[in-house]
Amino acid sequence: MTAPTFDAGDVTLEQVREFVWEIPQEGEMGAPARVLASEALLEEISGDKTLQQLRNATHLPGITNHAICMPDGHQGYGFPVGGVGAMDAENGCISPGAVGYDINCGVRMMRTNLTYDDVKGNEEELVDSMFANIPSGLGGGGVVESGIDTVEAVLDRGVEWALEEGYAVPDDLAHCEDEGVREGADPSKVSQKAKDRGKNQLGSLGSGNHFLEVQRVTDVFDHQVGEAYGLSEEQIVVLIHCGSRGLGHQTCNDYLRRIEKQHRGLLERLPDKELAAAPAGSQLAADYYGAMNAAINFAWVNRQLVMHRTRQVFERVFDRPWEEMGMELLYDVSHNIAKKETHTVEGDERELYVHRKGATRAFPAGHPEVPAAYREVGQPVIIPGSMGAGSYVLRGGEHSMDLTFGSTAHGAGRLMSRTQAKNDYWGGDVQDDLRDQQVYVKAQSGATIAEEAPGVYKDVDEVVRVSDALGIGDKVARTFPVCNVKG
């Protein structure tokens, strides 16, 4: 009996067990690679360069266990979106392409004590007011117009800065990874150009797949965990998806160029220039880590300011203080980061740069880094789906540390390019179709709506089914959109 295989052109995968596929180690690969997917998802994943990129990622120095692709994986810059790579923090490397251009792109979910009935009939006013008050789209304009000093304070202190300035309450920090302040942030390693780009973007959604969405909880699958997360059916919640804007993009670009110049030897041994990496222990590795951590703080403050402004919008539309509407942060998850973490590898404790690019940390119950309020049930994981499908709340599963360095998927994953989406869809039609489903969408341009049409995304149900079955992120609740503001 031989294991079933999946033939994807120049890459052949062997099935290890249900939903686990392996590209065996050969040639210059430093480890095998694994894809966590159903056959249907693997079929989609094999339609672009994801598998080649995943195999290439195993050439990165110090790659540990396997390079891993999540069920929502698709091709990205050098390293797949939906990829997890843990590289030894002493003898390995750190790679900006394995973090992603949008450093700490992520999502946060805010609870409310409103129900769908409270919001029904006010959708138009709500979506118009959110659109008018929360900056979105490409270019400048944020909730806070800041100078360079403010940007540096944000880079250094993260959400702590927002707390001091009255844009946050202590609970907001408690319900964010690292309590909203990344250790090891070094603003002096972020270029002047990046800081300049960040000055007028603090508190802005940006463009592309970023959004602000009012949703209703349609299902709670796990009532015990749902209760711990404060979620119940028909409740209104708010989802905020954005990142570090031009500042993070500039930072990624700055370090890619510097690494390409200063570490040519390593670059030439890699199968793809886009995987450019700084060797662990080098000055550039330390500098990039300091700059990336600072950009992570910037993105957290960005989401915090969008949340703060959303609370103000609700106050005006529903005419009462946000505290009375129970608008508390449930949790904030990062999608594009690298982090020094200690993991057990074949019985040994190892310090690793865990790169999660389009992947979510999903720590299980009992882990000390899960906020106290959720420690008994596990870390909340938020999986945004498309405007027509809704989203999921999961909790970190008991097998995540063994299988994925404590990670799971981050979304539905794109099925087609933005260019193809604009050929296949027209924004106005998509908007009308969504309206027929009682979903109110407002965007800067019709093109954005076409690019983000529900049909351009993979089946989020199938992505979550795989995560749940593997025990890396377990299904807790499901939501459906009510109002959506896109960039």
**Residues near DNA (CB under 7 A):** 77, 101-102, 105, 138-139, 193, 196-197, 201, 206-210, 242-243, 245-246, 249-250, 487
| CB nearer to DNA: pick between 150 and 250 | 250
Task: Quote the tokens at residue 390.
Answer: 């809704």
Axis crossing angle, helix 283-318 with helix 148-157, rounded to the nearest 10: 100
Whether 410 sits among the annotated catalytic residues: the reply is yes
| CB nearer to DNA: pick between 71 and 208 | 208
Looking only at the bridges linking them, the beta strands covering 473-486 and 440-443 are parallel
202 a known binding residue?
A: no
110 a known binding residue?
A: no
| CB nearer to DNA: pick between 85 and 411 | 411
175 a known binding residue?
A: no
CB of residue 336 to DNA, shortest distance in Å: 9
388 a known binding residue?
A: no
Give the single-character DSSP code of 195.
Answer: H
133 a known binding residue?
A: no
The most distant pair of C-alpha atoms in the chain lies apart, rounded to whole Å, by 68
| CB nearer to DNA: pick between 176 and 205 | 205
| CB nearer to DNA: pick between 59 and 197 | 197
CB of residue 100 to DNA, shortest distance in Å: 8
Place of tokens 């993009």: 249
CB of residue 393 to DNA, shortest distance in Å: 21
Return the bridge partners of 394, or none. Answer: 381, 475
Choosing from 66, 175, 355, 410, the catalytic residue is: 410
Return the bridge partners of 240, or none. Answer: 108, 212
486 a known binding residue?
A: yes
CB of residue 191 to DNA, shortest distance in Å: 10
Are the C-beta atoms of residues 34 and 45 closer than 8 Å to each other?
Answer: no
CB atoms within 10 A of CB 184: 13
343 a known binding residue?
A: no
Q: Which residues contact 74 (CB under 8 A, 6 or more apart)?
A: 45, 48, 50, 80, 81, 82, 413, 414
| CB nearer to DNA: pick between 92 and 246 | 246
Q: Which helix (H) or strand (E) holds 428?
A: helix 427-436
Tell me, rounded to whole angstroms, the distance of Cα 240 from its chain centroid: 11
Q: CA-based Rg of the chain, rounded to a whole angstrom?
A: 21
Nearest to 49 by CA among 82, 83, 13, 79: 79
Task: Quote the tokens at residue 246.
Answer: 């031009």
Looking only at the bridges linking them, the beta strands covering 348-357 and 360-361 are unpaired
CB of residue 208 to DNA, shortest distance in Å: 2
CB of residue 176 to DNA, shortest distance in Å: 20
User: Which residues does the annotation mark as catalytic?
Assistant: 410
Annotated binding site for Mn(2+): 102, 210, 241, 335
Annotated binding site for GMP: 209-213, 335-336, 384-387, 391, 410-413, 486
Annotated binding site: 102, 209-213, 241, 335-336, 384-387, 391, 410-413, 486
